[in-house]
Amino acid sequence: ENMGIAAIGLGIGGVAAWAAVLHVAAHTLIKSSMFLQIGVVRSIYDGYRINRLGDYMKLNRVGAAGLMLGALALLAFPPSPLFVSELMILRQTMGEGQWWLVAVIFLLLCIVIYSIFSRVIKLCYQPNQSPTRKSEHATWLSWSAFSLLAVAFVVGLTMPEWLKVWIEQIVNF
């Protein structure tokens, strides 16, 4: 979903191309955080069968909070930097008169949001049906995942000058 939005931004051009590069950079940090957090889930439950996993909030509060915040960020809810880039891409798309494309994007976003949130909520709150094991590194790894989210939010929302220059260089290449 996110790479499709970035591809649309690159295809539309203008401000949307700039936003697409920001989108990919922020997505890289946020998705890395999510992968790290899912690795923690794997170490606790020894599997990924989401229909049997649950009570993650009780087992690893930091990890569950990171997973939920990461899902919100990945799905471009404010104040995620992905929200900023998606908004820029959608504005440019509407400015180009591509309303049908905006409608398709919104429809697909609704499907993706439901799919991801239903799984994250189940993992965090449904009763657990799988054996768990104590993970020695769960909290430390969860905080590491949080740090990637923090970097994505701080860099993506404050837009330091070096980031603007870097994106401009890529777009103008």
How much is the CA Rg of the chain, to the nearest whole Å? 18
For 21-66, how does the pLDDT look when each residue is reduced to its tens digit (9 = 90+)? 999 999 999 999 999 999 999 989 888 887 788 999 999 999 999 9
What's the pTM?
A: 0.89
Q: Residue 158: its pLDDT value, please? A: 94
- Give every residue of the chain whose pLDDT is below 70, as ranges: none
Is there a contact between 57 and 128 (Cβ–Cβ < 8 Å)?
A: no
Q: Residue 52: its pLDDT value, please? A: 82
Q: Residue 138: its pLDDT value, please? A: 85
Which burial class, exposed, middle or buried, applies to 129 when counting CB atoms under 10 A from its CB (0-12, 13-18, 19+)?
A: exposed
Domain tally, the chain: 1
Q: Residue 13: its pLDDT value, please? A: 93
Q: How far apart are CA 28 and CA 161, in angstroms?
A: 19
Q: Residue 102: its pLDDT value, please? A: 95
- Residue ranges making up the domain that contains 102: 2-171
